[in-house]
Amino acid sequence: MNEQLHFADSGEAADLAAFLGRLVHYDRAAAVRLQARAGGGALAVFGRPPSFDVLAVRTARLATPLASPLDVTVSAGELLEAVDESGAALRVPGPVTGPPWAGVLPPRGGWRPVAGLPAPEAVRAALAAAVAEFRARDEALPPQHRTRSERDRIGREIWSRTLGDTELPLRAAHAAQSLGFLRPVRSTVPAGATGARPGSGAPAPVALFASGGWLRLSTPYGSVAARRPGGAAGLGALQVRPV
């Protein structure tokens, strides 16, 4: 493989490196699937942070469209090492055997807006309340019950709750926060603008979409997709475009 990719600017490379760093923090052996269309101007990177049971995607704008399509699964750690932030480029590492999730991605199109998602401030408040509840219930466990299985049970109960008036599990928003997708938008950049960088401005706007058996929580920094309760999983790939 070893294809050289050039990003639109160093910020795109830095944001991608931050995303990969968070994935590797959760799983040192993490793999990611890369996709870019021929003639398209963006690279999409799909990952699956363990325990969240969701798929995450971060896109990066490219300086020039690719002459041929790119679709390969690689080591997240090797890809992180290959990102040249100062040079706004990366050299794609060799492929690896993809995990099962890499072959079952959300559908390419058909996404429609879904109502009922709370405002960004309310989403962050719900996550903070869930984290506080988990800690309180964990601390209240008798020593003989403070086991991994009991903690996992509490976590599943809390993070399986839905967010607002939607079907989206709270764990999807938790994953988005953990991956840096809910960080504030710099006040000098219009909310939702492509290429927005972290800063001390307003909370990142969030939107919810549905397609087939999938839900997708989208922010200016990336998206998190989760299967709908009882829904059939779609096949294919998310659109390769800046989010």
Q: Give percent above pLDDT 70 in the chain.
A: 87
Residues linked to residue 66 through DSSP beta bridges, in sequence order: 38
* pLDDT greater than 80 at residue 237: no
* pLDDT greater than 70 at residue 214: yes
C-alpha span between 189 and 236 (Å, rounded): 33
Q: Where are the domains of the chain?
A: 4-103, 112-227
Tell me the pTM: 0.84
Angle, helices 170-178 vs 120-139, to 10°: value is 100
C-alpha span between 155 and 135 (Å, rounded): 10
Contacts of 204 (CB under 8 A, 6+ apart): 120, 181, 182, 183, 184, 185, 191, 196, 219, 220, 221
C-alpha span between 196 and 185 (Å, rounded): 6
The fold for domain 4-103 equals DNA Polymerase III; Chain A, domain 2 (3.10.150)
C-alpha span between 185 and 205 (Å, rounded): 8
122-180, pLDDT tens digit by residue?
999 999 999 999 999 999 999 999 899 999 999 999 999 999 999 999 999 999 999 99
46-68, pLDDT tens digit by residue?
999 988 899 999 999 999 999 99
Residue 204 pLDDT grade (very low, low, confident, very high; cuts 50, 70, 90): confident
